[in-house]
Structure 1
Amino acid sequence: MRILISGANGMLGRSIVAQVAAQRPEDELITLTRHDVDLRDRSDTRDFIERARPDAVIHAAAKVGGIGAKLAEPTIFLLDNLLLDTSVLAAAIDLRVPDFLYIGSAAVYPAKYVRPFVEEDMLTGHLEEANEGYAVSKIAAIKVCEYVTRQYSLNYKSALPSNLYGLHDHFELSNAHLVAATLAKMHEAKHAGLDVVSVWGDGTARREFTFATDVAVWLVEQIDKLDSWPSTLNLGWGSDHSVAEYYEVARDVVGFDGELEFDTSRPSGVPQRLIDSSAARSLGWSPTTSLREGMAATYADYLANLSSAGR
C-alpha cells in the first residue's frame, strides 16, 4: 500500500509517519509538508497527489493554534483550513483514491455541554466562539467525506480526536495549546527565577487531552479497515481535567516551586469539553499513556529540542 500523509511535520503527522515505518515497513510512505506544497494552492496540490499515486491518504495538515490565536485571527483559521482541505479532498476525489482518513477535531461539537459528546451531536447547537472559524472548516470537510463515501462508494472517514499533546508539540506561547503552554510557562518561570505563573481564566474549565502517539498507533493499525468505520469516530482519553490540574501536573514535571495566579480578565473557553469514544473502543481503541507519563515525555522532548537549538 502507498500511504500519503499530509501535515507530516506536525505533532500528530510526525507520530503517524513513525508508526507507519514501525508497523508497516512493507508499505510505501509519501510525506507531504508545507515545504513540498502550499496546500492552499489547489493545482499544485493535485499535481503532487497525482504524482504520488497513493492508495490511502491520511490528511493531518491543518492551520492550528491556541485560544488566543484563534480569537485574534478567526478569518485566517477559517479560510486557510477551507482552502487546504478543499485542495486535498478535491484531488483525492478526482483521482479516486480509495481510502481517505481525515483528521478532524472535537471542536466541531456545540459549546453547550450536557454530557460527553457523541458523534451525532455535531451540528446540533452553537459552536464555541473562540473555535468557531476553525470548527466550521472542520465540519465542512467532515461532511465532504461523508458525501464522498455515499456518492462514490469510497472509504472517506473522519477521526475526531480530543485535544492532543505530545512529542513535537508547538511550545511558542502565542500559538501553543494548553498542555504545551503549561510546560513552556513553567520552564520559563523556573529558569527566570519567578515566583508566580499566570493562568488564563479561573482554572476551573475542564478539557480532555490525549497523547498523540496513542492516536497515531491506532490510526495506522486502522488505515486498511476504514470500510468498517462509521463516517465519524471520536478518539479521546475518556476523562478530563481542570485547567488548574494541568498546570499542577506541569509544575510537578518541570519542578517549579512557585504559585499559580489566575487572571479572570482572560477568556477560559467553554466550561467543559469531553467526548464519548465508545464507538472507537468497540473497534479496539484503547489509549495507554497517562497524563503524567505523557507530560513527562513531552517535557523531555521540549528540553531535547532546546538543547539541540543551543538554548
Structure 2
Amino acid sequence: MTHSPNQRIFIAGHRGMVGSALTRQLNDVDEVELVIRDRSELDLTNQAAVHDFFRTESIDSVIFAAAKVGGIHANSTYPADFAYQNAMMAANAIHGAYLAGVPRFLFLGSTCIYPRMAPQPIQESSLLTSPLEETNEAYALAKIMGLKLCEYYRKQYGVIYHSAMPTNLYGPGDNYHPDNSHVIPGLIQRFHQAKESAAESVTVWGTGNPRREFLHVDDLAAALVHLIGIADPPDWVNVGTGEDIRIGDLAQLVAEVVGYQGEIIQDTSKPDGTPLKRTDISRIAETGWQPTVDLTEGLMETYQDFLTAIDAQLLRSI
C-alpha cells in the first residue's frame, strides 16, 4: 500500500473489533496519520457535528467501520434504532466528507445486505434481487443505503467512494456475551466455562450441519487497507475466505483449542437457520487480495485474547 506523506486517515468506529484491528495495522505505517474520535467527541448521528469535523480536520481518506450492531433479539426488538442510527451515521459521514473535499471513502457493511435466498456462494450481483432476512432487515437496509450512497456520489461527483461487505468475523476484541454474541465467541465462552467447571457435556443448538464462513478480523483489516490503496476499486466487494465449515465441526475445533474434553451434544429441537451461507470472493481476489489467517491458528489467537481480557477484566459483555 502506497500513500502520500502524512496521509490523514479517519477511522470511524475505532473502538469496535474492526476499528481496533485497523488501528493496529495502520499504527505501524509511517506515512499514515490516524484520526480517531470517541463517541463522546463526535456523535456520527449529529449532522452538524460531523460536517464541522470534516470541514476542520483535512481528512484524506475515511474507513467507516462505525455501526450500531446487535444479535437477532436486539435487531427484532429495536428495528427503528438500528435503521435510524445506521442510516444517519452513513449519510452524515458520506455527505460531510464529500462537502469537505475528502477524495476517498471506504464504507463497511456486512453480507447480511444480501437477500435471504441469495444463490450460493453469494455474488455482489445478488444485491436487491429478492427479499432480505426479516430478523435483520432494518440494519441491512441502512447498510445498503450507505453502499448505494457511495456508489451514487462516485457516479455523480467522481469521488472514489466505495464499500466492502465482510462475512462472519471473529478475532481479538470480540463480544463474548452469553446471549448476544456470535457463533465463535459464544462457543469459546461456553467451552471455557465448561472446562473450568469440569462439566461433562456442552449442548450446541441444532443439528450441526449448517455451513458458515468465518474471516479473521486482521484479514479484514488487511483487505480494507489494500482496498484504499487501489486507484480504481470496484464499487463494492465481498470480503471473506470463500470457504465454509460445518457448525458441528467448528464446535469440535473450538473445544480442542480451548482444551475442553467433554461431550458435545447437538440439540436437534433447536433451529438450524440457513443451511449454507458463503461468499464469492472472486471480485476482491482479482484486485490482488487473499486471506492469510488459518482458522485453527486464528481460533488459538482469539482464545488467548479471551483469556487476556478475562485476566484484565476487560471482557466485552454487552
Give the superposition deviation at 1:200: 3.0
Alpha-carbon displacement from aligned partner over 1:48-101 (angstroms, at most 9, x marks no partner):
233322010000011122334334433332222112222212211221210000
The one-letter code matched in structure 2 to 1:3 is: I
Identify the residue that residue 51 of structure 2 maps to in structure 1: 46
Query: Cα gap change, 1:130/1:200 in structure 2, threshold over 3 Å: closer, same or farther?
Result: farther
Question: Percent of aligned pairs with the same residue?
Answer: 38
Check 1:71–1:195 CA distance in 2 against 1; reply closer, same or farther (3 A cut): farther
- Cα distance between partner residues in 1 of 2:300 and 2:286: 29
Q: How far apart are the structure 2 equivalents of 1:101 and 1:30?
A: 15
Mapped contact 1:65–1:177 kept (Cα < 8 A):
no
Is contact 1:113-1:272 (8 Å) kept? no
Distance in 2 between residues matched to 1:266 and 1:74, nearest whole Å: 24
- Where structure 1 has 5 or more consecutive residues not aligned to the other structure, the ranges are none
Question: What is residue 100 of structure 2 aligned with on the other side?
Answer: 95
| Secondary structure at 2:59 match in 1 | coil
Match of 2:37 in 1: 32
Give matches, 1:57-96, under 5 Å: 57-96=62-101
Alignment correspondent of 1:171: 176
Residues paired across the two proteins, number: 309
Q: 1:75 to 1:111 in 2, by over 3 A?
A: same
Q: Distance in 2 between matches of 1:182 and 1:68?
A: 18
Normalising by structure 1, report the TM-score.
0.93
Q: RMSD across aligned C-alpha pairs, in angstroms?
A: 1.8
Are the structure 2 counterparts of residues 286 and 267 from structure 1 closer, same or farther at C-alpha, using a change threshold of 3 Å?
same
Higher mean C-alpha displacement, 202-211 vs 253-262? 253-262
Looking at structure 1, the residues matched to 300 and 129 of structure 2 have their Cα atoms a distance apart, in angstroms, of: 37
Q: Contact (CA 8 Å) 2:124, 2:238: kept in 1 or not?
A: yes
Q: State the shift of 1:294 in Å.
A: 0.6
2:20 equivalent among 11, 14, 17: 14
Quote how far apart the aligned CAs of 1:112 are.
Answer: 1.2
Could you tell me how far 1:150 is from its partner in structure 2? 0.3
1:241 aligns with 2:248: no
1:109 aligns with 2:109: no
**1:5 paired residue number:** 11
Contact 1:69 1:174 in 2 (8 A): no
In structure 2, runs of 5+ residues without a counterpart are 1-6
TM-score, normalising length from structure 2?
A: 0.91
1:255–1:281: structure 2 CA closer, same or farther, 3 Å change rule?
Answer: same
Q: Which residue in 1 is equivalent to 2:281?
A: 277
Q: Which amino acid in the other structure matches residue 243 of structure 1?
A: I
21 and 111 in structure 1: CA distance in 2 versus 1, 3 angstrom threshold: same
Q: Distance in 2 between matches of 1:63 and 1:266?
A: 28
Aligned to 1:132: 137
Q: In the alignment, is residue 260 of structure 1 matched against residue 264 of structure 2?
A: yes
Q: Give the Cα–Cα distance (whole angstroms) in 1 for the partners of residues 55 and 179 of structure 2.
A: 36
